[in-house]
A and B are shown apart, each in its own frame.
Chain A
């Protein structure tokens, strides 16, 4: 569906990128989320394999401090979001539960000026690309609408982050240029996930790489991701380990 909610959010991310005249990046998704979700600041860290998180973007000093504190202390909502595989919504860091959960981080975050932190894993199933964190000076839950938007910002950041890894390796990636909105991550995607799993075997690659190759193939052959995935799942199409097949033609 065009004019959809992910479409609206992609527009906000693209506008953010236009303000610095650069290509759209995951950092833009993080920065655009601040105003849209009505939080004070945000940060985004990328996972680098087994390495610790790498801070890619922080919209203010407090955000940067929050990201660094978690890295130093080895605890916090962002850490938990990566491990747990779902968002961690800590709407009041002064609450007993929060302090019990993060005995060192929670008081330090309050001290730094954050009363609430909402951490979103940047993930597609088993693919873990990083974490997006949002904070507020005032405690309080996100509304259902804000939470929905935050999740879509995180989805968008995930795709942009995966594409950036690939672009850094000098390869063609799918559908995330300024005009091309990333395929909607949330909708109707069981076949996409199954096809991604099948490609790990067909191509002999890891799951993140398989997902990137699937999207690159769809982009290079001007095909919808769902239709392509259905063909792979129905075994009407196999991809070859030769990466040239993912290029045009």
Chain B
């Protein structure tokens, strides 16, 4: 495990007091760093909505995001079990988990995953969500990786619930709802960009994130500007509508933590 990256990640996950804090960016840090630090190939995150449902708020890849959605749509899967019980849930071999999750287990295998570990986002009695870690190969996650994964989830949870000078549940709810709507804006922007460039949703998302990082803007602000039409995104490098070439192909690799893209 990369010790330097681990300590940088803990710093990032406690750094919520800055102006312009963006919950979505913050939760993407959690899923991305989980993949970089732990022996897993993808990560997805569900948070509870006061409407009484769980919502997918971050994922390290489109495959992981779709699997999180699949669990919600089918009302089954490790992330849901983990959220309901408030305890970690694991399946070291999804090929043997068809009894446990008859719909989820085959879907996860079709998506290229062989094992899964779900970790609760919990502070004392309050469970606010769950982090799902997916592995391409079968086998349980090493105990050390589970501890680190849980520690990352714990730190993120505490940071989110941190008293920020107001009643914290009100503040968290305000931020969570804004984050959920940001997620919708991002999906709308992905659709628009995917259609314009003839790329898939994963590529569209990488392009959006890459552009947000290089222009030092919040992803949700950039997505809003693109959807509103006040920003073209396909810029001089990509030519414009109809071009297939991505302007930042290398950004599919998440960069090492540096200055956060905040405005």
Evaluate contact between A141 and B169: CB separation under 8 angstroms: yes
Complex partner residue of B174 from A87, A97, A190, A199, CB under 8 angstroms: A87
- Quick check: which of A121-129, A159-167, A215-223 contacts chain B, the rest being far away? A121-129
In the complex, per-residue mask of B165-181: 1 if CB is within 8 Å of any chain A CB, else 0: 11101100111111101
Docked CA distance A168–B47 (Å)? 38
Evaluate contact between A189 and B184: CB separation under 8 angstroms: yes
The dominant DSSP class at the A interface is helix
**Contact of B146 with A by CB under 8 A:** no
With A91-B167, A141-B167, A190-B65 already in contact, the answer to whether A197 and B188 are too (CB < 8 A) is yes
**Contact of A187 with B by CB under 8 A:** yes
Evaluate contact between A198 and B192: CB separation under 8 angstroms: yes
Residues of B208-234 at the interface with A, using a CB-CB cut-off of 8 Å, are 220, 223-224, 227-229
Residues of B69-106 at the interface with A, using a CB-CB cut-off of 8 Å, are 69, 72-73
Q: Which chain B residues border A189 with CB–CB below 8 Å? A: 184
- Least Cβ–Cβ distance between A98 and chain B, in angstroms: 9
Evaluate contact between A5 and B52: CB separation under 8 angstroms: yes
Docked CA distance A21–B53 (Å)? 33
Residues of B within 8 A of A (CB): 49-53, 55-56, 65, 69, 72-73, 165-167, 169-170, 173-179, 181-182, 184-185, 187-196, 201, 220, 223-224, 227-229
Other A-B contacts than A87-B177, A197-B227, 19 sampled, CB-CB below 8 A, are: A84-B174, A85-B181, A86-B179, A87-B173, A88-B174, A141-B167, A147-B173, A186-B53, A187-B72, A188-B73, A193-B184, A194-B190, A194-B191, A197-B195, A198-B191, A198-B194, A198-B195, A201-B196, A233-B201
Closest 6 pairs (CB-CB, A-B): A197-B191, A86-B178, A125-B184, A193-B187, A194-B191, A197-B192
